[in-house]
Structure 1
Amino acid sequence: MHKNAVKVSEVEISIPPSLHTSLTDSKESLITSIMEECGKVHIHFPSTNLGLQKVLIRGPAESVEKVKKKLLQLAEEEQTKSYSVDVPVQSKYHQFLMSKNGGNLHKICEKTGAHIIFPTFNNKDQESVTIIGTEEAVKDVQKEVEVLLKDLENVVEDSIMIDPKFHSYFVMQKGQLLREMIKEYGGVFITFTYAGKQSTKVTIKGAKACVEAAKKHIQEIFEPLGSQITTRCIVPPKFHPFIMGPICSRIQQIARDCKVQIKFPETEKPTTNTHSEAQETGKEKGGKNTKEPVSTAAKKSDTMSISGKGENCKEATQAEESLVPVTAEVQVPFHLHPYIIGHKGSGLRKLIKEFEVHIQVSQPGGNFHIISIMGLEANVEQAKMKLQKQVKALQMEMDDRTLRNFRQTFSLDPKYHSKIFGNKGILISQICTEYNVTVHFPKKGVNPAQDQITISGSKDNILGARDAIMKMLRKIEKTVSKEIPLNHQVCANIIGFGGKSIHKIMEQFQVDIRVPSKGSCSNSSIIVSGSSCNVQDAIDYILTLEKHFLSVGKCEHLLEHVKRGPGHIAAKPSKSVGKRNALRHAKSTTHPPHVDNSEDFPKLKHQVSPKPHPWRP
């Protein structure tokens, strides 16, 4: 602990409070880089409110010494950069000095790296500016400012000749141009003619530099106006809001791009007489819809004036005419309208938003199969193509749905239904999956037409599924069925638990075997169906199993009788008890007989296994 205390050193250095902010600026990360470079040290700057110069450095002795040298070097560099001078400048010249016309101040500041700080509204001193930078740069900028101020103190008067018809530009929009020029050019006085006094002279009075800059600005504005013209563009009043756009954005964009002024006519109340006279005039001229009668009848409300250069006016007129909306009609079957409109109009809103058009689905008393699209020509064309694609896709979907809903019914003997259906519907499910159809069988006792099977789906698929069913039916018709009686004592052994044994026989010989239902012990006959050779092989195998189980049960009964002895008199077992014993002893055999075993079935040793058939129930 003592050794660690000896290694730690603490040093205080003096740095002016004005430099603390620049040194501790998080963007420059000067302190962080010093701490990483010199090792684990702690640098503490006093609070800015206290105004203290002491900076505390604490850490290992070697690291503290390195940090001390670095901080003093940085403070010296920052001090040379933060040289500042306050220059008195009247507030009316601040805007002029800040503008691009304020002499060479901007070029000198960019060249030297100095900055001029103008006072804000919160500063108490509004009559001075501060120049910050290196000492040399500050002095160069200060000299330039002093020269400009001397020129500004010399009040001069100059004039420029402007056509009186353009003098109104100074007072347009509540004199915005005049106010901006007075504020920007050091409070110069600009006088021009007013109503009743026609003179081309515009007088500018103020500081020499400000007057020259203001005169140059006025020339740039009004010289092009001498060559300007005024043209008229005729557009029906109902399209004026569309041309203006949201918050007049479209018309303002045209005015800016073409450098013209556009004036809309004042809104007038529509008069019935004028409209009727215009219609009569049109009829007298042969019913031709020309522009002249329309413009004459509604010249005040239809005419927009465009002022500017000839080329610019022509360009603006073309731009306005391109904004006049057009209307296109699309043939849409009435039954497709709900799909086009969408849920709560979502489909139409999507089209309107995407292409910026207006869509009208139907008109009262009109053709209900027409949808009207109104908007810019390019947008209308795109919206029309999109709508036609939607209609085509919907029509194809409707046609496809109609084809898929096609139904066909044909007759099939009910005795074959179960065989066509297959075990748990596996056969008919394969047909439905392969041909993409649905097959309906009549319900027993519900549908009077028990021989009618209905297939629904596309027409081609229905024909394919029907052919597959008929092909299966022909195979079934070629099969033979034979019924063989079985001893009721061994019937359960042949069937097996849950029909497991009988299913193995069916798979082995590719036949269908119908066994008696539960509870019908008196009727122990089974029905074997399939090809003639397979049926015969299966019957032979089943009868062999029957003989085997009967012989096993008989031997077990004799062995039990021998074990009891000759003097033992046993009661004659009942018929049901004998059946249970036979079944019990038959199940207790070491292994069941197999058709491939030559000992169990010697006559089947060289018999060829049956060929598999492609159908099964």
Structure 2
Amino acid sequence: MICAEQPSSSSSANDQEFPALAKLKKQRGTVRSLDSPLPAYHPAKVTEIVEIPYDQRRYQNEDLQAAGKRYDAQTRICMEIVKETGVEINLNTSKSNTLTAVLSGNPNKVAVAKQRLMAELRQQETIKISIPQEYHGYLIGRRGDRLREIQSNTMTRIIVPPSNAPDPNTITITGPKQGITEAEQLIRETVERQAQQGFERLDIPKIFHPFICGPNNQRLDELRERTDTKINVPPRPSSATVITISGKRDGVMQAADEIRAIFDQVKSYKTIPVCVKKSQHHLVSKPRGSGLAEILAETGVSVEVPTDPISEEIILCGRPEDLGRALSMVYERAESSIGEEVHCPNRFHKLLIGKRGSALAELREGYEKVKVDFGDNQDKIWIEGPPEEVEVIVARLKARIAELEATMAIDTIRVDPKYFRHIIGRQGANILRLCDHNVQIRLPTLERGDTHAADEIVIEGDPAGIEKTKANIQQLVQKLENEKCKDVIIEPRIQQLLCTGYKNVAPPIRLIYDTFPKVSVVWPTNQLDGETPGTMGHDNPSKSVVQLRGDRQQVDAAAERLSKLIKQVIEENFRQEIRIFKEFRPHIFGKGSSKIQKLLDETKTRIQYPNPSDGSDVFTIIGREENVQQAIRQIEELQKKLANVKEVIVSIPSALTTKFAGDHTPSLRSICDQCEGVHMRFLNPRQKNPRSVTHIDVVMLGPPDALERAQKLVDKLNDRVAELCAEVDPRLARILGRSANVSTITVNKVHAYRVSSAPL
């Protein structure tokens, strides 16, 4: 016996017996408007019941021994249908041996399964009926839709023989007895309905079609409505001559007889050709052929306008007594409007049209019936309208064209296409400035179909303005031809020094600007984005390229002067660090103290203070090297006077450092950091990287205790370097090769440092 563990408390028992319902998550979705229609409902699953009486069942043997076989056959058939259609099928048999099948699934699949089930489980019969072959097409329908519909509704299979069969009129129907009866009835109804339909084809010459249709198709519409038929007459542009009639047989026969009667009446009409200018054909026909319909309604004469774009011959067809009146109407309509061509240079077209057609609207004021057409890239204007109005518009146009020819000149200037972008300028600034002289400038372009050469610039407008514009363009081109560009490599740090002033003193680069006004200095791209030269990264070499652009002679002189200026700026911005003890800063930099300022003025140097947030006591002196050294010595002397600060000179190996102590030298800087208040500098800064000496003298300043501790660390460092270093033959340089970037040589796992190049 298995015993379940009882819950420890009643609350836990309740939680197990009555678990909490899962909370539904709040759905965030769009709320359907009440005015919007409900979505169409398409059931995903339907259920149908099929009953087969005992007398119609295919498997109805009552023998008990055959019952199992009968059951197996029905099950096998149902399983095959389920496998092919995916529909669920349940079979039941009532006391009266009626077989009931319940089908559930997709609506389309259920219909297919139902048809298969009735065909397999009901008794099948076959009959043959005779249907004339001419009706087989209507029975099958488009793409077999009508035949499939009959088979689906009656649960039968219908075989329509092909046209080359031995008996093409015999149709075979297979299925249950009731379905066969229904299918035969539907087929005969379809054939009987189609037998009542008629179709007729009448070949009537094209020129007589207007008499059959009547003005605005009035006669044809009346005939269609009265006979309840469909009459198809080819449209005017078509060359077809066959008129088709379809509908009920009686109506088709009546409509065909009436059309033949009309043709017999009009086939004796006379035709005459009339020559009218092609440009006036649309005046005769009018939009949608309304003009032709009016002539036909008033005179009974048909007017045929040719569709050929070259032919000018219009054909009139009608009774002889009516042709004269129709001919007068044709000439009257053709001459109701005239067209005239006016010569006008294409460059004046846009001026005559104006902004948004304002000038053209002013020109046509009071004569809106006149049509003015400006050709594409043509030196002409086409005016069309009533004769009296056309004369007025033509006179206005000619007067306006004469005025434009007197006030609007045109000229061309040849410019190398490579200078076009300079003439346009950034965002079109230069070309807009040139257009201020009341002119318009057109650069050549192939897309517009320009006939000018590829290097011709067209200038049109006021004659005086054209001369000024040409002079400005020529001056600009001459300047560009004499222009030279030269690149100068300047480190970003030096760029900042060139562009930075000090104490109301202009930046050094201002000297280049003032001395060479025809030269422009183009700084790296980042400077255009608001980035100063000093903030540029050192990784991108292009940020060190400064371009000089301008007059050829001045660019060379400016480049030479800039090189000297760079050298001068580098010399005047020598930097060296010095430690100033915190307890002495109030006396040196304090309020009212002029010592530091006087010292800087005398030595012509500048001082850079450390960042207060870093808590550093390292200051930087900037100026010429000799002035910086003098300022540092004076500051050190000043600190000695303010406190008990000692000075010691020690000697260190030259291999220990490659730069000035305190300036990116890891070993010596580490000693300064460990011994608070100690400051180191070279006794002779010019020998920072000597090749002729083995040791360098370093000056150490600071409090006695810290200075003593720093001296011990330096001695310890010297001993360590002495153990690791040895002098080698200077001929080792030949082994290393010229410009070799090798600082150590490994032989038998022993490192030898080149500490001297002096001969042994």
* TM-score, with structure 1 as normaliser: 0.39
Structure (1/2) with the larger helix percentage: 1
